[in-house]
Each structure stands twice: as C-alpha cells, then as structure tokens.
Chain A
C-alpha cells in the first residue's frame, strides 16, 4: 500500500510540477484572501493582529477546497479513474497518495501564508514549534478529509459547486483548533495552545483511517 501511495503521490506531484496550477492559481488566491480580509478589517494594527490566526486558517481552508478540486480534476480525464482502478493499485494506497500530494502542496502554501501574515498583519510567531506542529497535524486532517470528500463528489457534473458545501462544515473543527493554537503561538503562550492539538490529532487519525477503508467502495460507486 505504501509503495502504491508513493507512486500515486509522485504522479500527482509530477503533474503539478508541470502544470503549475497550485503555484500560479492557488497560492496567489490564498494571498489574495489575506489582502482582502485586511481591507475589510481596516488598517489598525490591533484588530489586524487579533484576526491574523483566523485569517491564516480561513485562507488555508479555502485553498484546501481549490487544491482538492484540482486533485479530483486530474483524475476526471477520459477513463483515467477506470485506468487507475484497473491498474491493480490498492484503493487505500490511492487515497494515501492523493492525500499526501494535497498535503504537501498545502504545507508549501502555509509557508507562503506564514510569510504573508507576518508582513501584512504585522505579527510574529513566538512559539515556532507549536505553530509547526499545528500546521502538520491540521494538514493531515485537511488533506485526508478533503480527498475523501473529493472522491464523494468525483464524476458529478456539479462537483465544483458541491464540494465547498460538503467539505467546509466538516473542516470547521480544524479552523477552530488551528486558529486557537496559532493565537497561542503568536502570544507566546504555549501551554494554552497544546490543548487544541488534542482536537487536531483525533481529526487527522479518524479521517486517515476512514479514508483508507472507504476509498475503495467510493471508487466503485463512481
């Protein structure tokens, strides 16, 4: 399964490296969210700093939807899904590979956004390890839940409008826990942030396990 996952992730990332959709569309979109929210809040540094963690995670969530849509679109070409299914690759491996590719893109995106909030919102992360651990755990959860819901909407003509309404309420706990943990990391108060990791860990584990189990039946349904 792991070898299959590596193959699928490699394939998705190679396509990404050649098409550069994430680089030229998703990353600018995420930065655009930062700028737009900054316009909405106004130029005062006080409210800006308070909003920074939430804005960071909102941008990550919206970009997750775009990245997952892209990940589904890769497989929507003529007979691609059938080809993948008939290739004998383990469905759990396909799930893990696609989630890994999405997760890796999201991590790169978060690095850019980190720089973005530092510059635009004038904040500094005081507890770096907490911010990094939060991002890693949240990314596993976002990628797994995202790819799973992507499979649920795959092959439907209306999938682009359907996916956000399906997946965004599901990702609400990640937004909540991620924002709170980041707030703690910004304030230099690590102890109040670690508690929120206890939501991110089960979220990531649950969607990872469900994804490996249910991706096969979902593929058959598509």
Chain B
C-alpha cells in the first residue's frame, strides 16, 4: 500500500489558489493605493472592497454548497461520502469567512458607529450563524461510525439552513440600525463608478476564488485523514494478529514438555 501517493494534489486546485492570492493582492493594491477616498466616508469606505465580498462567500457560497451537499448525501440515490466531505469542508470554510465578516464589520463599525459591536440585525444574525456552524463542527468532531456521523451532520446542516432565515427575520424585526447612509446602502451601487467599481467587483472574484481553493484543500485534508484512520486500523489489526501468532508459536515450540493442553489458547486470549 502506498501511504502518500494515493491522493495527489490536483493541478487545477493549485491554479485556483495562485489566481486567488494574486487577485486578493490586486484588490488590496487597488483598494489602498489606486482608488480615491470616498466623498463622504473618506478612507473608511475602502473596507467595502473586502467586507461585502467576504460576507457573500460566508452566507451564499459556503451555505449553498453545504446545504446542497447535505441534501445529496441524504438522498439515497446520490449517497456517497463525497457529499459528506464536501459539506463539512464548506461549513468549516464558511465558519472562517463568517468570523472574518464579523471582524471586518467590527473594524468598520468602530470608527463609523463609535462601537465595536452593535446589536444590529445583520451583525447579530451573522454571529448566530457562526455559532450554529461551530455547533455543527462540534457534532462533527465526536468520534463515531462514519456513516452515522455523515447522516447526523447532514441533518444538522439542513436544520441550520432552516433556522437561518428564522433567525434573520426575527433579528431583523428586533433591531435594525445598520442601513441608512452606510456604504452597504442599496443606493450605493448608483454612486460607485470607475476604479472603485472595478475594485469592488475584483474583490468578489478574488474571495470567491479563495473560497474554491480553501474548499478543495479542506476536502483533500478530509480524504487524507479518512485514509490515515483506515491505515491505523489496518496497522493495529496486523499488530494484534502478529501478537497472536507469536504467542501461539511460542507456546507450540515451548521446551516445557508438561504444558497443559489448554495453555496456548489461554495465552492468546490474554
């Protein structure tokens, strides 16, 4: 058995990764040096090149992949571990992006609103989404049979997907201070033009590429860790077998002539 060569890193993944990193680099360069400061917000508005893009990845790309993959796993005709691994990869990468959404939002909120955190609808529902995803990952880490784990995880992902709209709707009703004169105002798109518009668009492409890359890498880690688990099982089985044969062999070739007939099996049992 070849311990390392069975899953090679696919070439397209490396290409996507390099493209993503280069695109993020360009976004940073354009966003910090080339684009002009915003008329109202000044340099603060530069966060608009990363924050909405990261939030989009966290909510729609990661959420969409996780839900679709979980549905495909639960559907008996398409039930393979591919979908299970894809779902957990999407949730884990999504959790990273949800955390980044909260962090970048906070960085913007401190100078704009004067507070690191406001109990605003979007912030609160994103934070709850992150907590729900952490719960999913906690469930995932519990050691149990892979098929059991996969089915439970798929159900948990669907329950989260059902809960997120309710959470969003209720929090929306509870408190909405977010809009009104912020850079995320729907009217924003009317004001954006020139280099700002291009940088804004590039940010979306860059973080989407990074998402695909991380998803691929995380999927590969999942495959490799499953393989390691299988191999460890094979190795320990082989060890038990060889211990057994050694003991039997030792008992059979024992120089003591008066060994009781039941001796060897008792030793094997130990």
Residues of chain A having any CB pair with chain B under 8 Å:
148-149, 152-153, 155-158, 162, 165-166, 169-170, 172-173, 176-177, 180, 195-196, 199, 202-203, 206, 210, 214, 217-218, 220-222
A176 to B156, CA, bound (A): 22
Given contacts A162-B138, A177-B170, contact A170 B74 (CB under 8 A): no
Chain A residues with Cβ below 8 Å from B173 are 195-196, 199
Any A CB within 8 A of the CB of B167: yes
Residues of A within 8 A of B144 (CB): 155-156
From B138, B155, B156, B162, contact of A206 by CB (8 A): B162
Q: Return chain B residues, CB-CB under 8 Å to A169.
A: 128, 131-132, 135, 163, 167
Given A165-B135, A199-B170, check contact A218 B155 (CB 8 Å): yes
Q: Which of B142, B151, B155, B170 contacts A176 (CB 8 A)?
A: B170
Q: Is A210 within 8 A of B162, CB to CB?
A: yes
Contact A170:B169 (CB < 8 A) given known A156-B144, A162-B139: no
* 145-185 of chain B: CB within 8 A of chain A: 147-148, 151-152, 155-156, 158-160, 162-163, 166-167, 169-171, 173-174
Chain B residues with CB under 8 A of A221: 147-148, 151-152, 155
A50 to chain B, nearest CB (A): 16
6 smallest beta-carbon distances between A and B, as pairs: A221-B151, A173-B170, A169-B131, A166-B135, A199-B170, A165-B135
The DSSP consensus for interface residues of chain B is helix
> B174–A166 contact, CB under 8 A?
no
Distance in Å from the Cβ of B215 to the closest Cβ of chain A?
24
CB distance from B127 to the nearest CB of A (A): 9
Interface residues contributed by chain B, number (CB under 8 Å): 28
Complex CA gap A198/B74 in Å reads 31
Q: Tell me which of B147, B156, B159, B167 contacts A172 (CB under 8 A).
A: B167
Which residue of the partner chain, among B74, B170, B171, B174, contacts A217 with CB atoms under 8 Å?
Answer: B74
Looking at the assembled complex, report how far the CB atom of A134 sits from the nearest CB atom of chain B, in whole angstroms. 14
Q: Which of B139, B147, B158, B169 contacts A199 (CB 8 A)?
A: B169
B155 touches A152 (CB 8 A): yes
Considering the chains assembled together, what is the distance between the CA atoms of A214 and B144 in angstroms?
20
Q: How far is the CA of A221 from the CA of B148 in the complex (A)?
A: 5
How far does the alpha carbon of A195 sit from the alpha carbon of B142 in the complex, in Å?
Answer: 40
Evaluate contact between A170 and B142: CB separation under 8 angstroms.
no
B151 contact set on A, CB distance < 8 A? 217-218, 220-221
Inter-chain CA distance A29–B170, complex, in Å, is 28
B134 at the interface (CB under 8 A from A): yes
Q: Does B142 lie within 8 Å of A217, measured CB to CB?
A: no
A sample of 30 cross-chain residue pairs with beta-carbon separation below 8 angstroms, ordered by A number, consists of A152-B139, A152-B155, A152-B156, A155-B144, A162-B139, A165-B134, A166-B138, A166-B139, A166-B156, A169-B128, A169-B131, A169-B167, A170-B132, A172-B128, A173-B167, A173-B169, A173-B170, A176-B170, A177-B170, A195-B173, A199-B166, A199-B169, A199-B173, A206-B162, A210-B159, A214-B155, A217-B155, A218-B155, A221-B151, A221-B155
